[in-house]
Chains A and B, each alone.
Chain A
Amino acid sequence: MDSSNRAKYTMRAVVVLYVAVLVFVPIIVVTWRTFEDGLGAFWSAISSEQAVTAFRLTIEIAVAAVVINTVFGVGVALLISRYRFAGRRLLGALTDLSVSVSPIVVGLALILVYGPYNGIFGKSLAANGFQVIYSLPGMIMATAFVSLPLVMRSVLPVLDEEGIEQEQAAKVLGASALQRFRRITMPTIRPALAYGIVLSLARCIGEFGAVKVVSGNISGAGQTMTATLLIDERSQQLEQGTYQLAFVLILITVAAIAFVSFRRGKEKVA
């Protein structure tokens, strides 16, 4: 018994130490660096015009990408769980594929197709006055690409689990497709969908590499400077206010994780 206790405490100590060195210590140091110069410095770093513009753009892009991914994710999850067609598994696999692609490769791939100078579609789009890359649409596409399967993956298990009996019963009783979706499918998937949307939002707000490539790095202009790009720039130029911006993003991430784990915990109790 003694040796198994020793093993237990050793394992516990190793785990605590590993997580502390990797996560706790860095987070504490960042918090300290954020408030090192006082609350005034914190506030001015995150409320400068540059920072506010960057946060606003980040939110706009994230919301647009999440809306697209929600429609796509719920649609694909319904198709995969409710219908029978050739390539059903492939549809799921291709949707999953996008998160395994390096963000830099995502940016490169989008430039090759939508770039205004030599993109396959981009040249004619640009000729008609529609710029995708180095502007907002391209940044939304890049963000949507890297977070594509998140909503689908959060909704699909619930749809699979619930089965189609209720929906079929409603159909027999004469409910239209829209009614069935609103009254039966939607209430079933709502909690899972909420988690998927919150996690996607956090992911989209934090996207960096893919957005950096398609933003064209127009520094100073502010038109394509998101919060993560601003952190990159301030940090590379050794400017003030880097840690303060990062701290805001850490808070958003922690809030998203807390929301999901808290809600899930409550669900388990109920």
Chain B
Amino acid sequence: MTTIDVAPAASEPTRGRRRRKEGAGQPLGLASGIGLGTAVLWLSLLVLIPLGATVSQGFEKGWAGFRDAITQPAALDALRLTITSSLIVTVINAVMGTLIAWVLVRDNFPGKRIIEFVIDIPFALPTIVAGLVLLGVYGADSPVGINLMGTQKAIVLALLFVTLPFVVRSVQPVLLALDVEAESAASCLGAGPWTTFRRVVLPLLLPAIASGAALAFARAMGEYGSVLLISGGLASTTVSSMQIFQKLQNYDYVSASAVATVLLLISLLVIVILDVLQRRAARRG
């Protein structure tokens, strides 16, 4: 979702980066006050109370109950699989996303516009369709002879598919706005292309890479639809979100909520880290 958010900044690099003038706003009046109240009420009913209820349900049987629920072997296995797969995906995304953004901005070749266009498709596809699409190629009756069904590779592949645009779309606008003079200076002074990239360009891109990678990680941690079909329904390829669903089907709300609480905490942590990174980048830029 956020890819698509970053997109406006891609067309006008300066827009998204301009900081809101603090204190420019007016104090609330009657109508805007009622508006704010309504928005907060809806946000509470839709998001805050339900998420709060999830955490409190997770701790319904106390801290010990929470710990027991998330340290069951099956829960631990699922968490381990989810976290390692998401980390692998995040690292691949950081590298490949930066490379794709670089090629899209600096290179020019026939078909570039097509690549530019299809980058957004995997992310925007309904997750179950994404899963089906991958199953059609890398599933049991694979036309290319690669059957990944029921392996961790399949999960990593599905997660790579749905998180493809995150890093690309966050790095692209920064790369577009980058001044090439520093690079020319570096190469005039005898730095090779790799050294120039590593010492001059990469440090400027790092905040964008990190924020794209963090979004990809958060998305990967909670992914369900795209991994469902290709995971093959095995115990060894059950990610945490699938496990929560299974517990729900058994009406085991406490264990389901305990695992959900872990996922929520991880997303919250990622968001906080991201916010700190962005504020630091905004202060510097």
Binding site for B on A (CB under 8 A): 4, 7-8, 11-12, 14-16, 18-19, 22-27, 29-30, 33, 72, 75-76, 78-79, 81-85, 88, 91, 93-114, 118, 120, 141, 144-145, 147-150, 153-154, 157-158, 160-161, 164, 177, 192, 195, 199, 202-203, 205-209, 212-213, 227-228, 231-232, 235-236, 242-243, 246, 249-250, 253-254, 256-258, 260-261, 264, 267-268
Q: How far is the CA of A213 from the CA of B256 in the complex (A)?
A: 12
Q: Which residues of B contact A11 (CB under 8 A)?
A: 99, 102-103, 107
Q: Does B100 contact A (CB under 8 A)?
A: yes
Whether the pair B11, A264 counts as a contact (CB closer than 8 A) is yes
Judged by DSSP, the binding face of B is: helix
Q: How far is the CB of A200 from chain B (nearest CB, A)?
A: 9
Q: How many A-B contacts are there with CB distance less than 8 Å?
A: 289
Are A112 and B245 in contact (CB-based, < 8 A)?
A: no
Asked if B257 contacts A235 (CB within 8 A), the reply is: no
Within the complex, what minimum Cβ distance (angstroms) separates A221 from chain B?
17
Structural contact, B128 and A113, CB atoms closer than 8 A: no
Instruction: Determine if B228 and A232 form an interchain contact, defined as CB atoms under 8 angstroms apart.
Output: yes
B-side interface residues toward A, CB under 8 Å?
Answer: 1-2, 4-5, 7-9, 11, 15-16, 18, 20, 23-28, 31-32, 35-36, 38-40, 42-43, 46-51, 53-54, 57, 96, 99-100, 102-104, 107, 109, 111, 115, 117-122, 124-129, 132-137, 143-144, 157, 160-161, 164, 193, 215, 218-219, 221-225, 228-229, 240-242, 244-245, 248, 253, 256-257, 260, 263-264, 267-268, 270-271, 275
Residues A231 and B128 in contact in the complex (CB < 8 Å), given A99-B1, A109-B260, A164-B24: yes
In the bound complex, residues from chain B placing their C-beta under 8 Å from that of A153 are 2, 5
Q: Are A160 and B20 in contact (CB under 8 A)?
A: yes
Q: Are A72 and B126 in contact (CB under 8 A)?
A: no
Q: CB within 8 A of B133: which of A27, A84, A232, A261?
A: A27
**With A27-B121, A161-B18, A254-B121 in contact, do A209 and B40 touch (Cβ < 8 Å)?**
no
Q: Are A228 and B143 in contact (CB under 8 A)?
A: no
CB distance from B177 to the nearest CB of A (A): 15
Q: Are A253 and B126 in contact (CB under 8 A)?
A: yes
A231 touches B15 (CB 8 A): no
